[in-house]
Amino acid sequence: MSKPIIAEIQKEQIRRLASEGKRMDGRGFEELRNLEVEVNSIGAAEGSARIILGNTDVLVGVKMSVGTPFPDKPNDGVLMTGNELKPMAHQDFSVGPPGPVSIEIARVVDRGIRESKMIDLSKLCIVPGEKVWMVFVDIQVIDYDGNLFDAATLGALLALHNTTVPARKFEVGENHKLPVNGWPLTVTSSKMDDFIMVDPVLLEEQVADARLTVSVDENDFIRAMQKGLSGAFTYEEVVKAVDVAASLTKKLRQKIISTGE
């Protein structure tokens, strides 16, 4: 992805609005964009979710197959998370193997799933040392207007919560729901000057100095964090961002669980 060129006047406008406590789209600093979700619209996938967060549009699909475990973890299933920033989604994305931006997102989403233990990989073992379930979470960005971390994480969680293990197809028993638990949702804040706002749109992301993604689970435990870009946060700012993430993920979780399942 080439470095975006942003007009000074646009930066100034964002700064001026921020100093008045405002944002370009009229949101407050701690307000998420409008969210729409669609679950299991892809029949060929074992589970899928479409997340439309403002103008950001992400589709996550889960595929499963039977494979061999890693030698160092003979009793664990395998989880793999991939992300593709396709040129369809934005003019700055190009064809080709995933670059650093794309890989960072995939890894943050993967870590959120793995470290929260929302999938107990030992339950995905079929024959120890020989046969385990492989879970592929593929994130496809369809339209990009900022904050892929949160959209992709949410999509992955929703897709996994709605995944059916295709056991019959691989002749290892009857189809059943993928055992998952928990909702380690993320909220991303971006910082420009001394202003910190959640769920940045693309332009806010492009003028940002620093970014912080915080993953919080349903018991208010922080499960993962990722700081990005070349700016810095103060200690107070981090604490505040975590508080904001905790309260926003709580609201988001209630909304998702009531609509998504």
Binding site for another protein (CB under 8 A): 10, 13, 17, 22, 24-26, 41-46, 48, 55, 57, 59, 61-63, 65, 82, 84, 86-91, 94-95, 97, 136, 138, 140, 142-145, 169
Q: How far is the CB of 47 from another protein (least distance, A)?
A: 9
Q: How far is the CB of 258 from another protein (least distance, A)?
A: 26
Residue 155 vs 182, nearer CB to another protein: 155
Rounded to a whole number of angstroms, the distance between the first and last alpha carbons of the chain is 36
Are 260 and 39 a contacting pair, CB within 8 Å?
yes
- Provide the token pair at 12: 């100034």
Residue 197 vs 216, nearer CB to another protein: 197
Residue 142 vs 238, nearer CB to another protein: 142
Round to whole Å and give the CA distance between 168 and 250.
37
Q: How far is the CB of 214 from another protein (least distance, A)?
A: 27
- Provide the token pair at 44: 């060929």
Q: C-alpha angle with apex 16: 11 to 22, nearest 5 degrees?
A: 105
Q: How far is the CB of 92 from another protein (least distance, A)?
A: 10
Residue 62 vs 216, nearer CB to another protein: 62
State the virtual CA torsion across 122, 128, 133, 137 in degrees, nearest 10. Answer: 50
Q: Which distant-in-sequence residues (6+ apart) come within 8 Å of 127 by Cβ? A: none
**Pairing label, strands 164-165, 131-143:** unpaired
Q: How far is the CB of 45 from another protein (least distance, A)?
A: 4
Residue 67 vs 231, nearer CB to another protein: 67
